């Protein structure tokens, strides 16, 4: 992990360099992603199958209901119960996000309505292949269910013709009827533009690696994507002298094991905590199956920062705008309200990021990454709802208010606009 000291003369330059280097790596996939998207648009299912065989050793695009049923049947009962429990908590919290329609009538009897309309179809991208994320199924699909989306499609890369049974169980729990065993940029292109086997959707949501994130940006405009960059993952932990290095190290490793491009950052005013945590990481890395991924992530993108003041900690945190922020502090209340840029914030020593990842609080773990928390929020019901205005003007209303429209239209040089109002106003 890189070590930075806020007292250093070139501190901010060094920090910018590290952040930009990771961002450039994410964006460097553009050429290959564009090529894949063009191939799928032109060759459809044939192209998808080609990429599935190449990247996932998979020759199954559409698993049968029998395959899904037999796969989920063998799933451990405890895993099913855990998914059920998470489903209930996530659904309950997201149900609180429902919107109320607005209806307004003014003194001229002009009526204005503002109605929330669910999207007709969405695709949720669930990372897979050698990993499994049933939690992501729940986080993506439940807000869509609450919003009232009728058609929810799941794309999830299988491996050697098989998808993870827990992912399939979560999909069935969320009443998803369309499941495709595909992944990567080709999956994004498939649901964006459609093939013989796959009908296109109106919007794609869900996290993914740098290739998936790039692909989603490329198809945006033809279809919608969530209003953020979702992936690769990030965590920033702020620790003090009271923090437990064993806990902090495990939190960093727990995030790092996602992806080699994951970014894990630890900030503290206590140099001892930084040094102790660094040493513990080395030992703990030996204890996890995905140690090679976590190690690469920490070496390439990990940062240990000594920062000598709360003011600078707040400034740096807002600059980075991390996906996950852990304020592992005894006195987090003095900082939390001053932090404006973060996907989610865990407060205190027990609010570990891993708990939020699995739906225990009910909040969503699909969050803005790559500094996009500066302008966006985590996945919610609002991502699956459109807002439509309905305007009904009365005769009295246009006669009373039309002159101001005529004045503004003429000022802007739009005489046709002015004329269309003039013709409706009663002449005296």
Catalytic residue numbers read 323-324
Q: Which two tokens stand for residue 353?
A: 């990021």
Q: CA 351 → CA 65, 237, 244, 274, 325, distances in Å?
A: 39, 12, 13, 20, 10
Element (H, E) at 4: strand 2-5
Determine contact, residues 402/425, Cβ cutoff 8 Å. yes
DSSP secondary structure code for residue 236 in this structure: E
* Those residues with Cβ within 8 angstroms of residue 44's Cβ, 6 or more apart along the chain or in another chain: 190, 195, 196
Give the whole-angstrom CA distance, residue 264 versus residue 234.
Answer: 6
Straight-line distance from the first to the last Cα atom of the chain, in angstroms, rounded to the nearest whole number: 80
Give the whole-angstrom CA distance, residue 202 versus residue 147.
Answer: 14
- Which sign does the torsion angle of CA 321, 327, 329, 333 carry? positive
Q: Name the nearest CA neighbour of 99 among 378, 385, 388.
A: 385
Give the whole-angstrom CA distance, residue 299 versus residue 253.
Answer: 11
Determine contact, residues 295/285, Cβ cutoff 8 Å. yes
* Those residues with Cβ within 8 angstroms of residue 313's Cβ, 6 or more apart along the chain or in another chain: 238, 267, 269, 307, 335
């Amino acid at each position: 992990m890189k070590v930075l000291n806020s007292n250093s003369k070139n501190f901010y330059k060094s920090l910018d360099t590290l952040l930009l280097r990771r961002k450039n790596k994410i964006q460097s996939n553009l050429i290959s992603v564009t090529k894949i998207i063009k191939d799928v648009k032109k060759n459809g299912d044939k192209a998808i199958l080609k990429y599935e065989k190449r990247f996932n050793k998979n020759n199954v695009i559409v698993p049968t209901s029998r395959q899904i049923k037999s796969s989920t049947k063998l799933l451990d009962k405890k895993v099913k119960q855990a998914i059920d429990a998470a489903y209930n908590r996530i659904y309950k919290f997201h149900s609180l996000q429902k919107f109320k329609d607005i209806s307004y009538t003014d003194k001229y009897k002009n009526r204005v309505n503002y109605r929330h309309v669910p999207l007709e179809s969405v695709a949720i991208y669930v990372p897979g292949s050698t990993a499994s994320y049933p939690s992501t199924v729940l986080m993506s699909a439940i807000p869509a269910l609450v919003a009232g989306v009728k058609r929810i499609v799941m794309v999830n890369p299988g491996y050697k013709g098989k998808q993870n049974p827990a992912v399939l169980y979560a999909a069935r729990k969320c009443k998803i009827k369309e499941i495709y065993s595909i992944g990567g940029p080709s999956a994004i292109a498939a649901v964006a533009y459609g093939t013989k086997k796959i009908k296109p959707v109106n919007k794609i949501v869900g996290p993914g690696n740098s290739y998936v994130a790039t692909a989603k940006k490329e198809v945006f405009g033809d279809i919608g994507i969530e209003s953020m960059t979702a992936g690769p993952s990030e965590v920033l932990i702020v620790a003090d002298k009271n923090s437990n290095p064993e806990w902090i190290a495990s939190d960093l490793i727990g995030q790092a094991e996602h992806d080699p491009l994951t970014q894990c950052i630890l900030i503290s005013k206590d140099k001892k905590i930084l040094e102790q945590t660094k040493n513990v990481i080395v030992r703990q890395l030996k204890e996890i199956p995905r140690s090679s991924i976590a190690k690469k992530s920490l070496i390439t993108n990990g940062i240990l920062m000594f920062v000598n003041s709360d003011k600078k900690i707040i400034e740096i945190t807002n600059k980075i705008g991390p996906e996950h922020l852990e304020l592992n502090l005894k006195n987090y209340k003095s900082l939390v309200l001053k932090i404006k840029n973060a996907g989610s914030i865990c407060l205190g020593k027990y609010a570990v990021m891993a708990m939020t990842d699995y739906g225990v609080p009910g909040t969503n773990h699909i969050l803005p990454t790559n500094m996009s928390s500066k302008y966006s929020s985590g996945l919610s019901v609002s991502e699956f709802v459109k807002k439509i205005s309905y305007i009904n003007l009365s005769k009295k209303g246009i006669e009373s208010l039309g002159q101001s429209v005529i004045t503004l239209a003429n000022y802007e040089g739009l005489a046709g606009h002015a004329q269309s109002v003039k013709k409706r106003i009663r002449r005296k």
